A and B are shown apart, each in its own frame.
Chain A
Amino acid sequence: MMKERKTVIECRNVSKTFYSMAGDNLVVDNLNFNVYENEFVVLFGPGQCGKSTILNLIAGLEKPTGGEIIVSGEKVTGPSPKRGMVYQTTNLFMWYTVMQNVEFGPKMQGVPKKVRRERAQKYIDLVGLKGFEKHFPVKLSGGMQQRVGIARAYANEPELICMDEPFGHLDAQTRYLMEEEVERISNSDRRTVVFVTNNAEEAIYLADRIILLHNCPTSVHKEYIVDLPRPRDYTSPDFLALREQITAEMDNTL
């Protein structure tokens, strides 16, 4: 059954070294994994090292120093609107309204105003920001800003969305809310998502598959397929058991 699925991302022996005056820093070492169409994959690992770099490599913002990344059959050479990104710091265009932020991608590709407005409105409604279209980002709370970031990525209708610890800066309460929100959004608009986090609960709650990463230099340590029924319950015995298992394994990655 697995074999029939279309592969969206293929990482082949990817490695990345940062060169600097202070010395070389090997961040990603011989990374191999695949992501399949419409799959929600969580890259999970402790520490600061490597996870965001992997996303930047997939996005094409950085170039690998070894190996190659293939997205939908094409080698990644630079950023492309086919790959959307949601950032840890929201990175909204502070000088544009919510609507202008969300319609930014389609606008850049010359989508006619009426069509892109409709599309942007659809995603603004989807993330629950109806009525805030004309607000500037400074006037929104952190959680709301992150919703705009998600809507902006979706409105470009990319074949792949990367999320880089999008809720890392939010308080615990908002974080739970946003996790439910992402769950709801990805159910109603199914896309391939690569989600980076260092929070085990978040990973299990959202993922179809969790790739546990090795810390510094980063490589794949172990994979878990999460087949708990959705929406998941943080307190169900299966959830807790898996969490226990992953947290225990995490100590071996350091």
Chain B
Amino acid sequence: MKKWQCIVCGFEYDEAEGMPDEGIEPGTKWEDIPDDWTCPDCGAPKDDFEMMEVD
């Protein structure tokens, strides 16, 4: 499981947690998130996320 971070505002998407309120189940891999999904905080597109170091 990986974490991804928005390069604009720093929002983190954690694959393990998903975003159930947005219909993204826990465990959803980054590549399975729709391409038109955007950062819930600042609106940056999926392309503007980068993988974070795994703790």
A-B complex is real? no
Interface residues of A (CB under 8 A from B): none
Interface residues of B (CB under 8 A from A): none
